[in-house]
């Protein structure tokens, strides 16, 4: 299991600049970089091919609105190319969300799925 400490950030919709370029909100990209870095530092398992399952337990600092699917999307994108080649390998997910004012975090478990 990998634990990333910090208040989980949901994936934001892409933004468009005045000159037409598409960009990701800074808070989203910073959170995704942190997740990727922590996954690497904590030596998470790497799945180069084949189906994988993922369990995500989000503990947010407060109960302000954060859609669970957007929280999940940020983690799946952050681990793309690190824990697995592509998030299309994910065939099973288990996701939960709760409040922990004192220790916000996300707990990540990834495993091989046999079919």
CATH assignment at residue 14: 3.30.1330.70
DSSP state of 89: G
- Based on C-alpha coordinates, what's the Rg of the chain? 14
Question: For 68-110, how does the pLDDT look when each residue is reduced to its tens digit (9 = 90+)?
Answer: 999 999 999 999 988 999 989 999 999 999 999 999 999 999 9
pTM: 0.87
Distance CA 44, CA 107 (A): 12
Please report which residue ranges of 1-115 form alpha helices under DSSP H: 26-41, 68-78
Q: Are 7 and 99 in contact (CB under 8 A)?
A: no
Q: Quick one: CA dihedral 69, 14, 50, 105, positive or negative?
A: negative
- Structural domain including 12 reads 2-112
Could you tell me the maximum CA-CA distance found in the chain, to the nearest angstrom?
Answer: 48
Q: Are 106 and 35 in contact (CB under 8 A)?
A: yes
Question: For 38-77, how does the pLDDT look when each residue is reduced to its tens digit (9 = 90+)?
Answer: 999 997 778 778 999 999 999 999 988 899 999 999 999 9
Number of domains in the chain: 1
């Amino acid at each position: 299991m990998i634990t990333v400490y910090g208040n989980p950030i949901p994936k934001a919709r892409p933004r468009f600049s005045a000159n037409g370029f598409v960009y990701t909100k800074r808070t989203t990209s910073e959170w995704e970089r942190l997740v990727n870095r922590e996954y690497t530092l904590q030596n998470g398992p790497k799945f180069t091919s084949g189906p994988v399952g993922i369990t995500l337990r989000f503990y947010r600092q407060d109960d302000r609105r954060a859609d669970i699917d957007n929280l999940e999307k940020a983690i799946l994108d952050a681990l793309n190319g690190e824990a697995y080649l592509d998030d299309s390998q994910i065939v099973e997910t288990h996701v939960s969300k709760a409040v922990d004012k004192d220790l916000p975090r996300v707990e990540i478990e990834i495993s091989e799925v046999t079919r």
